[in-house]
Amino acid sequence: MAQATSRPYRSLLAALLSAALLAACSSTAERPKPANLPPVASLIGTKLVWSAQVGRVPGQAVPTVAAGRLFVAGADNQVFSIDAGTGRELWRMRLEAPATTGVGSDGDTAAVVTTRNDLVAIDNGRELWRVRLPARAFSTPLVAGKRVFVLTGERTVLAYDGRTGARLWSQQRPGEPLVLQQPGVLTAVGDTLVAGLSGRLTGLNPLNGSFRWEATVATSRGTNEVERLVDIVAPFSRQGSNLCVRAYGAAVGCVDADRGTLVWTRVASGPAGVHGDADLVFGADGDGVMRAWRRSNGEPAWTNDRLKWRDLGAPQALGRVVAFGDSSGLVHLVSREDGSEMTRLSTDGSPIVGAPLLAGPSLIVQTRNGGIYAWQPQ
């Protein structure tokens, strides 16, 4: 790779390389075929309470939940707000270009980034303002404290006034030249804005962007730029100030976001984020092996290879079960105690987008083909 290559081009190249890397990891020619699944265990009862169709999901536009509403992107450049309890459409809006991120919201203002690098703020289905970002973005904007925060593919965090769109500040953390075309971590813990920048979690002052702390979850150790990718990927697991994340293909770790200190880190391969509860953190390796770590110290709690080679995404912990979606549109509900099957849910056969979501008593997933499904335990 020529040293004279410009940074914007390198970011685009990073997106293409990471997409190729993910495709290679999931190629049926390269990977063993998974074993046939046994009949559904049905150890817990579930009921499909509503479903909807919004059309094929663009890019990295993962679904999100805020204030009892589901925010999704679909076909024809449209984004939707849906009542998560009933499936009733609250509003829809057509963007000028497809979304590249999920729709972030605080319950009032929503925000999304398009393929034109436009950050668009929305109020009840009406555009409030739009601004052109300096680089592509793949992470869902964070709307909090009457501000909109964005993490771009250049590892820059930007803050905008939620009502006017005026830029308030920007902060960049130099890192490896390549970045993943995959949603990263951007959240608030107390009065600290926390962003995943390369293999680190970084705490920022949301008022001016100044650095407060930095905790390294994983360090680049590969022999080439692709192998050195260790970006922090969404989703994450938070309990109070304890924030647990995955560094792509390298490690899982937890950070005390009040003190800015690393609690623990463990070597762990896998492309998708983690989730958990007060005691355990759950995730899947790149080969589909499910794992649980003890939240307090990172010690392994259990490993289960029953779903090996099924291209599992990030999980959602809910009570006594953990939900994993896969690339065939199945949602596997497994025991939090050992990963054994509790039941299995079917969708339209296309991959589950992002992680399953929890909204009140409902477990909600969106598929790549735009199907939305909400189940409740019986």
Does residue 162 surpass a pLDDT of 70? yes
**What is the length of the chain?**
378
DSSP-H helix ranges across 63-169: none
**For the residues 168-172, what does the mean pLDDT come to?**
95
- Residue pair 287/313 in contact by the 8 Å Cβ criterion: no
pLDDT for 206-263, tens place per residue?
999 999 999 999 988 766 666 678 899 999 999 999 999 999 999 999 999 999 999 9
Give residues with Cβ within 8 angstroms of 280, minimum separation 6.
Answer: 292, 293, 294, 295, 301, 317, 336
CB atoms within 10 A of CB 109: 20
- Residue pair 331/323 in contact by the 8 Å Cβ criterion: yes
- Confidence (pTM): 0.90
- Residue pair 313/325 in contact by the 8 Å Cβ criterion: yes
Nearest alpha carbon to residue 375 among 93, 51, 13: 51
Q: In what order do the strands lie in the sheet with 330-335?
A: 315-318, 321-325, 330-335, 341-346
Burial of 159 (0-12, 13-18, 19+ CB in 10 A): buried
For residues 55 and 74, what is the distance between their CA atoms, to the nearest angstrom?
5
Burial of 107 (0-12, 13-18, 19+ CB in 10 A): exposed
At 137, give phi and psi (nearest 5°).
-135, 145
302 beta partners: 292
Give the mean pLDDT of the chain: 91
What is the pLDDT confidence band of residue 11, given thresholds at 50, 70 and 90? Answer: very low
For residues 358 and 340, what is the distance between their CA atoms, to the nearest angstrom?
21
**For the residues 271-285, what does the mean pLDDT come to?**
97
Provide the percentage of residues in the chain whose pLDDT is more than 70: 89
Does residue 8 surpass a pLDDT of 70? no
Does residue 202 surpass a pLDDT of 70? yes
- Residue pair 133/119 in contact by the 8 Å Cβ criterion: yes
Which letter does DSSP use for residue 63 in this model?
-
- Residue pair 358/60 in contact by the 8 Å Cβ criterion: no
- Residue pair 165/127 in contact by the 8 Å Cβ criterion: no
pLDDT for 313-333, tens place per residue?
999 999 999 999 999 999 999
Q: What is the pLDDT of residue 175?
A: 61
Q: Angle at Cα 182 formed by Cα 143 and Cα 327, nearest 5°?
A: 115
- Residue pair 150/183 in contact by the 8 Å Cβ criterion: no
Q: What is the pLDDT of residue 17?
A: 44
pLDDT for 67-125, tens place per residue?
999 999 999 999 999 999 999 999 999 999 999 999 999 999 999 999 999 999 999 99
Does residue 41 surpass a pLDDT of 50? yes
Strands 300-304 and 315-318: unpaired
Top pLDDT among 197 and 225 is at: 197
What is the pLDDT confidence band of residue 181, given thresholds at 50, 70 and 90? Answer: confident
For residues 88 and 50, what is the distance between their CA atoms, to the nearest angstrom?
9
Top pLDDT among 321 and 21 is at: 321
178 beta partners: none
pLDDT for 130-142, tens place per residue?
999 999 999 999 9
What is the pLDDT confidence band of residue 29, given thresholds at 50, 70 and 90? Answer: low
Which letter does DSSP use for residue 301 in this model?
E
Q: What does the block give as tokens for 220?
A: 């680049």
For residues 334 and 56, what is the distance between their CA atoms, to the nearest angstrom?
28
Q: In what helix (H) or strand (E) does residue 233 lie, and over which residues does it extend?
A: strand 232-239
Does residue 1 surpass a pLDDT of 60? no
For residues 299 and 242, what is the distance between their CA atoms, to the nearest angstrom?
16
What is the pLDDT confidence band of residue 177, given thresholds at 50, 70 and 90? Answer: low
Does residue 186 surpass a pLDDT of 60? yes
Q: What does the block give as tokens for 309?
A: 């080679």
Q: What is the pLDDT of residue 9?
A: 35
Q: What is the pLDDT of residue 226?
A: 67
Nearest alpha carbon to residue 94 among 66, 67, 73: 73
What is the pLDDT confidence band of residue 154, given thresholds at 50, 70 and 90? Answer: confident
Q: In what helix (H) or strand (E) does residue 23 lie, and over which residues does it extend?
A: helix 7-26
Token pair 């939900």 in the structure block, residue: 323
Positive or negative torsion for Cα 358, 361, 367, 369? negative
Q: What is the pLDDT of residue 354?
A: 96
